Chains A and B, each alone.
Chain A
């Protein structure tokens, strides 16, 4: 059973290189000269997050591919740029059958809206339980009943949107520091204030965790059910993240803000764009990793959150391939 999180973060500029059968990271200073070298044990790393300018050659990338290490690359403003997904003889993501079934389920309007509805239901219930845990009352019944009537995807999206707006309004009661973290309206690209910036960062992280778990199953991340796949490259991980955002992301934001682990000083503003300092990223990631490696008992098994996400992806796969009933994960 896997206990520690096998993700590695690179926050400084430098060079990633293969030497013998291992990966080394040379840290650069401002003049591009090496100041420190660190070894990344290849067998203990599953994915590498690159949040800085890093040099790499194809020899290193081939080695990473052979060992099934997934690379996530981010822009200097911590938005997602893309990933390097290895295709080798031992990568699993190769089933034509599952891809066909996924496309068929997507085209089948009844099945697609069934899956989308189940995901939204789990999302709403998880959000509401979040509120309840922080002592805020929230009535989900009108939303759930509206969801049951919703037939098409836009209708489901509308239910979700109106619910989400009310949910974010409750945040002002949960977060105690109202001076710098008052929630007014959700804004993206770029986030307008500190709380929006925090939400965006944490959500991006959860999207990426979901994405790497989807890559470990045979599902194709390009075809989502709730989110329209037409206008973006990847969308299935957004669906999966809907379920886990309230459980993993929102609780992390609440606890870090209420314990004053993140304050207004942890943000940098540059030309109107807000970003975290490297120290703050480190703090958040420490918390995130300890959250992801927490073990919870689900269905008689002790699983980490990462494994629960993969289990959820597997359930979706079973629903897609064999028409098995699917029910979104609700954390009670």
Chain B
């Protein structure tokens, strides 16, 4: 049985992108590690800015958590923003856990890719949406088999393509 505390940021991101991908990832069926985008992502995680604290809370790993004037700021770095919705949701998930779990009062989120920056706000409305998404994820992951494969445009560049197609 997969419980809600096992959900990590990547899973939320995958859930928004592709349900099948999320199911596979949750069952530890990992994408092709030699895929170019995977390799780039791994390098991105390695060469973060210096002196950034690797803050670990439960099974979350932020790229950066900094203390600003009067609030905390979570920053998430992405190689590209082809799918900004997924990145925003991942960030919102971090904010949700920090607000509900750690009971921090003021948390804000920032999504950075090159010169593009998105801000994510932990408003009441957003947090409620997140809560529903988490329930959905738990339902999806506890299904006995993966959702059926359907070809989409994103499949061409996915690291799971050798498995799915």
Tell me if chain B binds chain A. Answer: yes
**Bound state CA distance, A300 and B54, in angstroms?**
42
Say yes or no: A321 contacts B33, CB within 8 Å.
no
The verdict on B146 contacting chain A, using a C-beta distance below 8 Å, is: yes
Q: Given contacts A321-B146, A322-B145, A322-B146, is CB(A98)–CB(B29) below 8 Å?
A: yes
Which of the residues B27, B146, B165 comes within 8 Å of A95, measured between beta carbons? B27
Cβ–Cβ < 8 Å partners of B30 in chain A: 92, 95, 218
Which of the residues B28, B145, B165 comes within 8 Å of A94, measured between beta carbons? B28
Q: Given contacts A2-B34, A216-B33, A317-B163, is CB(A95)–CB(B28) below 8 Å?
A: yes
**Bound state CA distance, A96 and B26, in angstroms?**
11
Say yes or no: A96 contacts B28, CB within 8 Å.
yes
Cβ–Cβ < 8 Å partners of B165 in chain A: 299
Say yes or no: B28 contacts A97, CB within 8 Å.
yes
Interface bits B149-165 vs A (CB < 8 Å: 1, else 0): 00000000000001111
B140 to chain A, nearest CB (A): 15
**Bound state CA distance, A94 and B36, in angstroms?**
22
Which of the residues B29, B34, B42, B164 comes within 8 Å of A218, measured between beta carbons? B29
Question: DSSP majority for the A interface?
Answer: helix
The verdict on A318 contacting chain B, using a C-beta distance below 8 Å, is: yes
Cβ–Cβ < 8 Å partners of A2 in chain B: 34
Interface size range on A against B:
20 to 34
Which of the residues A92, A94, A97, A310 comes within 8 Å of B162, measured between beta carbons? A310
**Bound state CA distance, A90 and B33, in angstroms?**
10
The verdict on A314 contacting chain B, using a C-beta distance below 8 Å, is: yes
**Bound state CA distance, A259 and B29, in angstroms?**
45
**Bound state CA distance, A134 and B162, in angstroms?**
32
The verdict on A186 contacting chain B, using a C-beta distance below 8 Å, is: no
B80 to chain A, nearest CB (A): 19
Which of the residues A90, A95, A216 comes within 8 Å of B29, measured between beta carbons? A95
The verdict on A111 contacting chain B, using a C-beta distance below 8 Å, is: no
Number of interface residues of B (CB under 8 A): 15
Cβ–Cβ < 8 Å partners of A307 in chain B: 162
- Chain A's closest residue to B28 (CB) is A95
Cβ–Cβ < 8 Å partners of B164 in chain A: 318
**Bound state CA distance, A2 and B145, in angstroms?**
32
Interface bits A288-321 vs B (CB < 8 Å: 1, else 0): 0000000000010000000100110010011001
**Bound state CA distance, A314 and B145, in angstroms?**
17
A75 to chain B, nearest CB (A): 30
Question: DSSP majority for the B interface?
Answer: loop
A90 to chain B, nearest CB (A): 8
B8 to chain A, nearest CB (A): 13
Say yes or no: A311 contacts B162, CB within 8 Å.
yes
Which residues in window 6-34 of B have CB below 8 A to A? 27-30, 32-34
- Chain A's closest residue to B160 (CB) is A314
Say yes or no: A218 contacts B28, CB within 8 Å.
yes
B160 to chain A, nearest CB (A): 9
- Chain A's closest residue to B24 (CB) is A321
Interface bits B84-108 vs A (CB < 8 Å: 1, else 0): 0000000000000000000000000
Q: Given contacts A310-B162, A311-B162, A314-B162, is CB(A321)–CB(B34) below 8 Å?
A: no
**Bound state CA distance, A291 and B44, in angstroms?**
33
Which residues in window 42-56 of B have CB below 8 A to A? 42
Say yes or no: A318 contacts B163, CB within 8 Å.
yes
Interface bits A72-108 vs B (CB < 8 Å: 1, else 0): 0000000000000000001010111110000000000
Say yes or no: A314 contacts B163, CB within 8 Å.
yes
Cβ–Cβ < 8 Å partners of B146 in chain A: 321-322
B residues in contact (CB < 8 Å) with A: 27-30, 32-34, 36, 42, 145-146, 162-165
A residues in contact (CB < 8 Å) with B: 1-2, 68, 90, 92, 94-98, 216, 218, 299, 307, 310-311, 314, 317-318, 321-322
Q: What are 13 A-B contacts defined by CB distance under 8 Å?
A: A1-B36, A68-B33, A92-B33, A97-B28, A216-B33, A216-B34, A299-B165, A310-B32, A310-B162, A311-B162, A318-B163, A321-B146, A322-B145
Given contacts A216-B33, A318-B163, 19 further A-B contacts (CB under 8 A): A1-B36, A90-B42, A92-B30, A92-B33, A94-B28, A95-B27, A95-B28, A95-B29, A96-B28, A97-B27, A218-B30, A299-B165, A307-B162, A310-B32, A311-B162, A314-B163, A317-B163, A322-B145, A322-B146
